[in-house]
Amino acid sequence: MEEENSTEFLQRFRRDRRILLNFVLSGSLIKKVVIPPGAVSLDDVDLDQVSLDFFLNCARKGDLLELSEAIRDYHDNTLFPHMIACPYFHITNFANTLNVRIN
């Protein structure tokens, strides 16, 4: 039962993610999309491997979107721990938890 819920949740997440990407691409938020080598059109790109953070930052800034960079950013984020863009980070040492500010 729990496995069915997680599968359904993952499918809904992927569907909503694709809808968001297609919506932003259909508008005028991104001026130009650079397709990675080997892809003929946007349909040849696996949008599940595009970093949504990278994508939305390009849309927010009005920059051109290099899909090869967005895919690389997605894979880098899956290999390394996710960190927020903030001068604070969270440290745990099993005994207590500290919030530390980086100078």
Name the residue ranges covered by the structural domains of the chain. 2-101
DSSP-derived pairing of the beta strands 65-66 and 33-34? parallel
The closest alpha carbon to 59, from 32, 86, 19, belongs to 32
Q: What's the whole-model pTM score?
A: 0.67
Please report, in tens digits, the pLDDT of each residue of the chain (103 residues total). 567 788 898 899 889 988 988 888 888 888 889 999 999 988 899 888 998 888 988 988 888 999 999 999 988 877 766 565 545 455 555 444 444 444 4
Q: Are 36 and 71 in contact (CB under 8 A)?
A: yes
